[in-house]
C-alpha cells in the first residue's frame, strides 16, 4: 500500500513514525480540508495506536479512512508474527467496517466494500475502516490500478425544509428562546441571520469559544456570566425553547444550568448527529442552520420581549467585575491566559488543548479575527499538538497552539515530524502538573493527590526543542512573558515554542477568587 500510494501522482503522502501522532496529524489535515484523509499502517498493534484519533473523528464528524494491512485469516491466533484480531476493531467508534477478502475471485466484492466505505466517509463525515489481508511475498508491484474507485460520489445536500407550523408558532410567539452554539466551523452561519438573531429581543445567544461566531449582542464568555448567578437570575434566563447549533459543549456550568432549569423543548439544527446533552432533546432539524432560520423568519418576526436585555444586563455587570479583577490579578495561569489571548495576531488560527486551556478561554471574550479549534469530541489531552500541526500543514495559515504541560508532554512525539511549518507556534503553560484538578472540591485533601491526580513533575520543553531543532524561549513572570511575546510571532526559519512557568500552588486560589469577585 505504501509503495502504491507514494508512487501515485494524485496523492500527497506524509511519513509520521508514531502511529498515534500520525493519526492526529491526519485528523488535523482532514479537519481543515473537509475531505477524507487516509491513514495507512501495518498489521498488529499499529492500528490500535490510531484509536484515540478515530474516536475523536467519530465524535467530531471528521472523515478519516483507515487502511490497515492484515495477515490472512488462517494466520490469526496461531502465534504468527505481528497478528491480532483486526476485523471490526473500531466497532464502537466507526461509521463503516470493510473487511476485505484476499483472492481474484473476490475483486468485485472488495471493490463494493471499498466504495461503500469511501461514500460513508465523504457523505456522513466520519471515520471508516478498510482492513486488507495480505499473503507473502509483500513487496510485489502492479502497474495497474486494480480497484476502480467512484469518480463522482453522490452529494448530500438539503436546500430547503418545510418547518411544521407548530414549530413556527412556538418560535414566533415565545418570548424566551435561547440559542446555544457549540463547536462550529467558521462562517457556518450567514451574517444575515447573525444580525437577525442579535436584533431579536426574544432571543438570547450563548456562543462558546469554539463557535467562531461573534456579535456584541451575543454572550461569549459563558462561564463568566453563569458562575455567580443567583436563583432569581437563573429563573429569568430559563428558556422556553433551547435551540443548539454545532458540536460538543465545553462549559460544565451551562450544562448544569440547562439541566436544572430545563427548557420546555430542546431542538437541534445541523446535518450531523444531535446530542441529548440536556436530557430534553425533542427534535432534530437535519439541515444547515441558515435554512432553518430562513424558515423561522420568512414571513414574520418574533414577539417583543425583555429576555435578551436581561441577559445583556448581566453580561455588562459581569464584564465590569471581570475588568476590576484584572487590575490586581497576580501572575498565575489566569493572568497568563489573559495575556496570551490579548497578544494573538489577527488572522491566525488558534488551537486549544484540553483541558485547562480551552476552559480558561471560556472566561474571556474571543477575538472575531481569530478562528479557534479544539479536539472536543472526546475531550482528551492526547493528540492536540499533532492535530494542530496537521491543521497548519493543510490550511497554509499561521497556527498557534496554546497547551498545558501534561497535554504537551503526552504528545511530545508530535515534534518528531518533518512537515512542521516554520510559522507554527506553541505556547506551553507549565504549572508542573495537572493544575486544573486543584479547583475540584476538597481536591488537595485526597490521598496522594499530587502523585495520582495532579501528577507533579519538573519537566521542561527546552530539551525537546533542542533535539527537534525548534526555537525555544521561556518566561516566569509578567515582564518576561510580554518581552517574549513581543517577537514570538515574527517570521523565523524554524517553528517556535514558548514555555511559561506558573506557580502551581497559587493558580487555583486565583481562579477561585476570580469567581468570588465577579458575583
Write down the pLDDT at residue 298: 82
Write down the pLDDT at residue 95: 97
Q: List the domain boundaries for the chain.
A: 2-133, 165-314, 329-517
Sign, CA torsion 366/367/368/371: negative
Write down the pLDDT at residue 299: 75
CA distance 312 to 317: 9
Evaluate whether 434 touches 403 at the Cβ level (below 8 Å). no
CATH of domain 165-314: 3.40.50.1220
Evaluate whether 182 touches 207 at the Cβ level (below 8 Å). no
* CATH fold label, 2-133: Rossmann fold (3.40.50)
For the chain, how long is the longest CA-to-CA vector? 75
User: What phi, psi does 439 have (nearest 5°)?
Assistant: -85, -5
CATH fold match for the domains 165-314 and 329-517? yes
CA distances from 108 to 70, 84, 103, 152, 498 (A): 19, 26, 11, 19, 54
Residues of the chain with pLDDT under 50: none
Instruction: Give the count of alpha carbons within 13 A of 51, CB side only.
Output: 11
Write down the pLDDT at residue 155: 59
Cell (9 digits) for 145: 490500478
Write down the pLDDT at residue 154: 58
Write down the pLDDT at residue 445: 63
Query: Is 157 in a helix, a strand, or coil?
Result: coil
Evaluate whether 430 touches 461 at the Cβ level (below 8 Å). yes
Write down the pLDDT at residue 78: 86
Cell 505481528, residue located: 82
Query: Exposed (0-12), middle (13-18) or buried (19+): which is 448, by Cβ within 10 Å?
Result: exposed
Write down the pLDDT at residue 140: 74
CA distance 239 to 399: 37
Q: Could you confirm whether domain 329-517 is CATH 1.10.645.10?
A: no
Encode 479-518 in three state secondary structure.
Answer: HHHHHHHHHHCCCCCCCEEEEEECCHHHHHHHHHHHHHHC
CA distance 274 to 199: 27
Query: Exposed (0-12), middle (13-18) or buried (19+): which is 298, by Cβ within 10 Å?
Result: exposed
Cα 121–Cα 118–Cα 2 angle in degrees, nearest 5? 110
Amino acid at each position: 500500500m505504501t509503495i502504491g500510494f507514494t508512487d501515485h501522482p494524485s496523492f500527497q503522502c506524509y511519513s509520521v513514525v508514531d502511529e498515534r501522532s500520525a493519526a492526529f496529524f491526519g485528523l488535523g489535515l482532514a479537519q481543515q480540508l473537509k475531505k477524507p484523509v487516509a491513514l495507512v499502517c501495518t498489521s498488529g498493534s499499529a492500528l490500535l495506536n490510531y484509536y484515540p484519533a478515530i474516536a475523536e473523528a467519530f465524535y467530531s464528524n471528521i472523515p478519516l479512512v483507515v487502511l490497515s494491512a492484515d495477515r490472512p485469516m488462517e494466520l490469526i491466533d496461531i502465534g504468527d508474527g505481528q497478528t491480532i484480531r483486526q476485523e471490526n476493531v473500531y466497532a464502537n467508534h466507526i461509521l463503516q467496517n470493510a473487511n476485505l477478502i484476499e483472492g481474484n475471485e473476490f475483486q468485485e466484492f472488495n471493490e463494493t466494500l471499498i466504495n461503500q466505505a469511501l461514500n460513508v466517509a465523504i457523505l456522513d463525515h466520519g471515520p471508516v475502516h478498510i482492513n486488507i489481508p495480505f499473503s507473502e511475498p509483500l513487496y510485489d508491484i502492479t502497474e495497474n490500478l486494480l480497484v476502480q474507485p467512484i469518480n463522482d460520489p453522490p452529494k448530500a445536500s438539503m436546500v430547503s425544509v418545510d418547518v411544521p407550523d407548530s414549530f413556527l408558532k412556538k418560535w414566533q410567539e415565545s418570548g424566551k428562546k435561547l440559542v446555544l452554539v457549540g463547536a462550529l466551523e467558521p462562517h457556518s452561519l450567514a451574517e444575515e441571520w447573525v444580525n437577525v438573531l442579535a436584533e431579536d429581543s426574544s432571543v438570547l445567544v450563548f456562543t462558546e469559544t469554539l463557535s467562531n461566531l461573534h456579535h456584541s449582542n451575543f454572550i461569549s464568555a459563558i462561564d463568566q456570566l453563569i458562575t455567580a448567578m443567583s436563583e432569581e437570575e437563573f429563573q429569568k434566563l430559563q428558556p422556553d425553547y433551547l435551540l443548539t447549533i454545532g458540536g460538543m459543549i465545553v462549559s460544565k456550568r451551562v450544562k448544569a444550568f440547562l439541566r436544572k432549569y430545563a427548557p420546555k423543548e430542546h431542538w437541534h439544527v445541523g446535518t450531523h448527529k444531535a446530542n441529548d446533552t440536556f436530557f430534553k432533546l425533542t427534535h432534530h432539524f437535519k439541515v444547515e442552520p441558515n435554512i432553518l432560520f430562513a424558515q423561522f423568519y420568512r414571513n414574520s418576526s418574533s414577539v417583543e420581549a425583555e429576555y435578551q436585555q436581561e441577559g445583556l444586563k448581566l453580561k455588562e455587570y459581569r464584564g465590569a467585575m471581570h475588568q476590576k479583577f484584572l487590575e490586581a490579578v497576580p501572575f498565575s495561569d489566569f493572568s497568563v491566559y489573559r495575556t496570551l489571548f490579548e497578544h494573538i495576531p489577527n488572522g491566525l488560527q488558534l488551537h486549544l488543548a484540553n483541558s485547562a486551556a480551552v476552559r480558561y478561554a471560556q472566561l474571556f471574550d474571543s477575538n472575531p479575527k481569530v478562528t479557534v479549534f479544539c479536539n472536543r469530541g472526546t475531550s482528551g489531552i492526547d493528540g492536540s499538538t499533532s492535530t494542530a500541526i496537521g491543521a497548519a500543514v493543510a490550511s497554509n495559515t499561521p497556527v498557534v497552539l496554546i497547551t498545558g504541560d501534561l497535554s504537551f508532554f503526552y504528545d511530545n512525539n508530535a515534534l518528531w515530524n518533518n512537515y512542521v511549518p516554520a510559522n507554527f507556534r506553541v505556547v506551553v503553560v507549565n504549572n508542573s502538573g495537572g493544575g486544573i484538578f486543584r479547583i475540584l472540591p476538597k481536591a488537595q485533601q485526597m490521598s496522594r493527590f499530587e502523585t495520582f491526580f495532579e501528577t507533579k513533575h519538573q519537566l521542561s520543553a527546552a530539551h525537546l526543542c533542542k533535539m527537534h531543532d525548534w526555537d525555544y524561549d521561556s518566561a516566569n513572570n509578567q515582564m518576561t512573558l510580554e518581552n517574549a511575546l513581543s517577537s514570538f510571532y515574527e517570521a523565523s526559519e524554524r517553528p517556535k515554542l514558548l514555555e511559561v512557568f506558573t506557580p502551581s500552588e497559587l493558580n487555583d486560589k486565583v481562579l477561585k477568587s476570580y469567581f468570588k469577585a465577579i458575583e
